């Protein structure tokens, strides 16, 4: 999936929209973690990853969808709360947009984000 397609799907104008969305999700992850009063080191320990990995996720190098869901559990928030930057930007979808969302989710699941 091209970044411009993802950006347009998310209501942007293309080009750097994928990076914008990844940054937005990462910042949101960090904010939720801080609100839960959980350190990066604690999240890393709970997930069996390094603190550097958690830091990269929060700086916009997105984890897989499975890792995002485990991250949500590690800080005690719902998956919906964690994924709000994605879900909140998508209006009712047409057929093409639904296909793009499925492709995006597949990308997140294999860690190519």
Residue recorded with tokens 């639904």 = 98
H helices within 12-83, ranges in order?
17-35, 40-47, 51-58, 65-75, 79-82
Higher pLDDT, 37 or 98: 37
Q: What is the pLDDT of residue 51?
A: 97
Mean pLDDT over 10-23 rounds to 62
Q: What is the pTM of this model?
A: 0.65
pLDDT for 3 beyond 50 = no
**Best CA proximity match to 17, nearest among 29, 26, 2, 6:** 6
Ordered domains of the chain (ranges, CATH): 3-110 (1.10.260.40)
Across 51-70, average pLDDT: 90
| Percent with pLDDT over 70 in the chain | 64
Q: In this model, does residue 36 exceed pLDDT 60?
A: yes
Give the pLDDT mean for 25-48: 95
* SS3 (DSSP) at 71: helix
């Amino acid at each position: 999936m091209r970044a411009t397609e993802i950006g347009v799907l998310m209501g942007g104008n293309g080009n750097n929209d994928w990076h914008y969305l990844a940054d937005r999700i990462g910042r949101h992850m960090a904010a939720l973690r801080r609100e839960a009063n959980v350190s990066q080191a604690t999240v890393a320990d709970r997930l069996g990853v390094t603190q550097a990995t958690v830091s990269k996720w929060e700086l916009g190098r997105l984890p897989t969808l499975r890792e995002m869901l485990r991250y949500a559990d590690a800080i005690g928030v719902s998956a919906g709360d964690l994924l709000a930057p994605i879900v909140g930007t998508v209006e009712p979808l047409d057929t093409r947009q639904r296909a793009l969302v499925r492709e995006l989710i597949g990308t997140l699941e294999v860690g190519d984000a």
